[in-house]
């Protein structure tokens, strides 16, 4: 049975963010999460190379701590990977605004960054997605920006992540919530060309979906854009240096055009 945070992908997508679903995310968690009261921001301290090289560790954990280690991962290209809809081992012991139950009452976001000078400043596209993603979640749970904290604030003296200024970050998130920051540019709904093919994602059906399935080498070509097709599209996008969001928009259509059936 899916856990409570099944609303996460839609909330992020509605904010114009790129979202990739990690297989099994709906049922992943250390039991279900409680009432969501805020967000804890992290960085992975993972490898320097790659978009989200820490994904599997966040999903599965490590010898000293079982996964999932957060509900969300944020890649260097601004893609949100939805890892778990349940409770995650991301906060540990600490306190923020009087709340000591971080794992139970806070959503964790693990953003890919080494945490060293070799990975600073962070990419603009990643920071922009970080701010807009936090704002979208806070709006959903009807909380102000004070309910967003860094792990270093929740567990001072024990954690150092993330390295950026959290007060400035909260101010920028507040500007998004107040509507004074321009919205993110969304994926076009239709190609700006003579072909004018629509943007397709999970749930779509029809002959164009069959065309996509053939080109990404899905075993069953049935014209239904389900989880297998989405996974195959994401893999195709990774191989072609595209954002692996599983959505076939203009850039992915252009890459598919070069693939012979």
Question: Could you report the per-residue pLDDT of 40-82, keeping only the tens digit for each?
Answer: 999 999 998 888 999 999 999 999 999 999 999 999 889 899 9
pLDDT in tens, 165-179: 999 999 999 999 999
Find the length of the chain: 261
158-167: list long-range contacts, CB under 8 Å, 24+ apart: 158/92, 158/93, 158/94, 159/92, 159/94, 160/115, 161/41, 161/42, 161/43, 161/45, 161/115, 162/41, 162/42, 162/43, 162/111, 162/113, 162/115, 163/43, 163/113, 163/115, 163/120, 164/122, 164/127, 166/41
205-250 residue pLDDT tens: 999 999 999 999 999 999 999 889 988 998 898 888 887 778 898 9
Q: Would you state the CATH architecture of domain 188-261?
A: Orthogonal Bundle (1.10)
- pLDDT score of 243: 74
Residue 106 forms beta bridges with which residues? 38
pLDDT of residue 203: 87
Ramachandran quadrant class, 78 (left: phi over 0; alpha: psi -120 to 50; beta: rest): left
Residue 238 and residue 53 in contact, taking contact as beta carbons nearer than 8 Å:
no
Report pLDDT digits (tens) over 113-154. Answer: 999 989 988 988 899 999 999 999 999 999 999 999 999 999
Question: Crossing angle of helices 166-177/124-141, nearest 10°?
Answer: 60
Model's pTM, two decimal places?
0.77
pLDDT at 194: 62
pLDDT of residue 104: 98
Second-level CATH architecture of 4-177:
3-Layer(aba) Sandwich (3.40)
Instruction: Kindly indicate the confidence band of residue 187, based on its pLDDT and cuts at 50, 70 and 90.
Output: low
220-to-22, 208, 259, 260 alpha-carbon distances in Å: 21, 14, 18, 18
**pLDDT for res 133:** 98
The confidence score (pLDDT) of residue 114 equals 96
pLDDT at 190 over 80: no
Residue 142, C-beta contacts closer than 8 angstroms, at least 6 positions apart: none
Of 198, 222, 111, 196, the closest CA to residue 162 belongs to 111
Residue 32 has pLDDT above 90, yes or no: yes
Q: What 8-state DSSP symbol labels residue 146?
A: G
Sorted by where each begins, the domain ranges of the chain are 4-177, 188-261
Confidence of residue 191 (pLDDT cuts 50, 70, 90): low
Poorest-confidence range of 161-165, 184-188, 231-235?
184-188
């Amino acid at each position: 049975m899916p856990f409570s945070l099944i609303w996460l992908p839609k909330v992020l997508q509605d904010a114009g963010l790129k979202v990739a679903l990690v297989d099994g995310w709906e049922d992943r968690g250390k039991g279900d999460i409680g009432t969501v009261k805020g967000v804890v921001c992290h960085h992975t301290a993972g490898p320097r190379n790659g978009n989200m090289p820490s994904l599997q560790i966040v999903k599965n954990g490590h010898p000293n701590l079982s996964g999932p280690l957060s509900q969300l991962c944020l890649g260097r290209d601004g893609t949100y990977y939805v890892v778990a809809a349940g409770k995650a081992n991301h906060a540990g012991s600490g306190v923020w605004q009087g709340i000591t139950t971080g794992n139970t009452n806070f959503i964790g976001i693990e953003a890919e960054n080494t945490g060293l000078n070799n990975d600073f400043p962070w990419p603009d596209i990643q920071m922009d997605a970080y701010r807009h993603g936090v704002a979208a979640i806070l709006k959903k749970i009807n909380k102000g920006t004070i309910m967003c904290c860094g792990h270093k604030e929740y567990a001072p003296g024990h954690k150092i992540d993330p390295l950026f200024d959290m007060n400035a970050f909260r101010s920028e998130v507040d500007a998004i919530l107040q509507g004074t920051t321009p919205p993110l540019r969304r994926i076009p709904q239709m190609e700006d060309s003579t072909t004018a093919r629509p943007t397709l994602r999970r749930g779509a059906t029809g002959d164009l979906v069959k065309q996509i399935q053939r080109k990404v080498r899905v075993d069953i070509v049935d014209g239904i854009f389900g989880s297998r097709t989405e996974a195959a599209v994401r893999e195709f996008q990774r191989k072609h240096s595209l954002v692996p969001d599983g959505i076939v928009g203009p850039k992915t259509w252009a890459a598919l055009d070069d693939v012979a059936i």
